[in-house]
Homo-oligomer: A and B are copies of this chain.
Amino acid sequence: MRYCFLLQVDPERLDEYKERHAAVWPEMLQALHDSGWHHYSIFARGDGLLVGYVEADNLDQAQQAMERTGVNTRWQAEMARFFGGRRPDQGFQVLEEIFNLEDQLGATR
C-alpha cells in the first residue's frame, strides 16, 4: 500500500528541520525499517508544508510499531518544537490515493 500524508512545520524552523532530516539517527532509521516503513520520503515546500510518501503493508500498524520503540519517543520529543509543541507523528493528515500508474497498467494487460 502507498500512503501520502501532510504536515505543517513552523516555516521559520524549516531550515533547521531540513538539517535534522539530512542526518536522522541511524537507530531511528533502523526502527522505521523494522517497523515496516519502506520507500519513505519527505518533501518540503518553502512555506513549511511537508509531504510524506511511504509504502507499508498497513500504515496504522507501521505507526503503532514505531510508537512502541524508545527511539521514536526520543525523536518525536525533539521534533515537537518544529510543530508548535505537538508530536508530529500524531498530526498526520493522510490523503486518498486516486491514481497509480502501475496498478492501472497491470489492469489493462
Q: Which residues of A contact B (CB under 8 A)?
A: 2, 4, 6, 17-18, 21-24, 26, 29-30, 32-33, 37-45, 49, 51, 53, 93, 95-102, 104-105, 108
Copies in the complex: 2
Whether the Cβ atoms of A44 and B101 lie closer than 8 Å is no
Whether the Cβ atoms of A21 and B99 lie closer than 8 Å is yes
A38 to B32, CA, bound (A): 24
Task: Kindly report which residue of chain B lies nearest to residue A39, judged by CB atoms.
Answer: B102
Contact residues in B for A101 (Cβ distance below 8 Å): 29, 32-33, 37-41
Whether the Cβ atoms of A2 and B41 lie closer than 8 Å is yes
Contact residues in B for A39 (Cβ distance below 8 Å): 101-102
Whether the Cβ atoms of B6 and A98 lie closer than 8 Å is no
Question: Among B6, B29, B97, B104, which residue has its beta carbon within 8 angstroms of that of A29?
Answer: B104
